[in-house]
Amino acid sequence: TPASQCVLMMPKDKTAPEVILKVYPGAFHGFDTLGANSYLRGSDGIHHIQYQPEAEADSIVQVKNFFKRYLK
């Protein structure tokens, strides 16, 4: 699934979203799966699964910040 499809589903209004979308340029599905580097057949074609440590590290920070902000 291209990230552009996720972008299209984000709320369009100016209120603070309950969901935050951050797209990591060059990241693939499984960017947070240690050791992943393969191609898998999906219902709509082939998907590249690849670990990307920088995206994984930042995603952990983003999730912790989200929880800190909204779950206090």
3-state SS, one letter per residue, for 31-55? CCCCCCEEEEEECCEEEEEECCHHH
The pLDDT assigned to 32 comes to: 95
Decide: helix, strand or coil at residue 62.
Answer: helix
Tokens linked to 50:
């690849």
Identify the band that residue 4 occupies on the pLDDT scale cut at 50, 70 and 90: confident
Tell which residue, 2, 26, 22, has the closest CA to residue 10. 22
Identify the band that residue 16 occupies on the pLDDT scale cut at 50, 70 and 90: low
The pLDDT assigned to 17 comes to: 62
The number of beta carbons lying within 10 Å of the beta carbon of residue 30 is 19
